[in-house]
Amino acid sequence: MIVSIVRRIGRRMSSARVMVVLSSGRRGWPGQSLPRIRERQGRMSLPRALASVCGALQTAGSGQSRAIRIQTRRHVEHRITTDAGPYDGRVWWSEAEQAALADPSTCGMCADAHLEENPHSVLIASTPTAHIRLARNQAHPGYCLVILREHVTDLADLDADALAAFWSDVQRAGRAIGAVLDPRKIDYLVMGHRMPHLHCHLLPQHTDDDPLRNVDISDGPVLLPDAGLRERARSLRDAWNAVSTVER
């Protein structure tokens, strides 16, 4: 049995809606939705939510993959796919899924990180090491990404020179954000469990942000008008060209 899950979770879930959909195996939510099989109001932890859909997995049938989607009021999404059979508690990618995600020939960042514009971001600058991009979702004003040019899945795979060059670009991007938007703090976040191509999220924290709340890259979306996004990108590009990294 293959069981996998995509999670963007808070500590607890509320008003969880559980749906079974036919899945083509691609990312996202392709396929035809089936009737809602269960809805449960009130606070519910992720393990309880998963337990509540075990029956659905048992009766999902055989012959084609199924996916179960759990969505909360905060638009937190969870996905479980199975080829039928009982849910055994495993939630990480299968070996085949992990290999597919890490394949540079199908990597989304390899395909579009260098483009002037893509559906997720616009290009600010490029260096021999990385591409610096402004996210279209500006729920955190100034939110940028620094994406390694080379298809590497983990920081541990970089040699000392490449590692220093990557973090130098991250630092310079942070300085540019600081010069343009004057945030109270910038959070630097490296994950990669859903997109295993090394990149760093730069999430500015401003005076209207709660400092006791964990940063969440799925906040929003807040989409600026095209003119506003272009102006912010231009300002960050000018700042990138004006600032420099700390001399060693």
DSSP sequence for 45-107: -HHHHHHHTHHHHHHS-SSS-EEEEEE-TT--EEEEEESSS---S--SPPHHHHHHHT-GGG-
Print the domain residue range for 24.
13-97
Q: Is 212 found in the same domain as 110?
A: yes
Amino acid 7: pLDDT: 35
Q: Please tell me whether residues 129 and 88 are part of one structural domain.
A: no
Contacts of 99 (CB under 8 A, 6+ apart): none
Euclidean distance between CA atoms 216 and 28, whole angstroms: 19
Give the model confidence (pLDDT) of 127-167 as tens digits: 999 999 999 999 999 999 999 999 999 999 999 999 999 99
75 versus 219: the higher-pLDDT residue is 219
Evaluate whether residue 23 is within a structural domain. yes
- Does 196 sit behind a cis peptide bond, omega within 30 degrees of 0 on the bond before it? no
Clarify whether residues 44 and 83 are in a common domain. yes
Residues 28 and 135 in one domain: no
Q: Does residue 5 belong to any structural domain of this protein?
A: no
* Reported pTM: 0.67
Instruction: Decide which of 37, 70, 97 is a domain's last residue.
Output: 97
**68 or 7, higher pLDDT:** 68
Task: Give yes or no: residues 166 and 224 share one domain.
Answer: yes
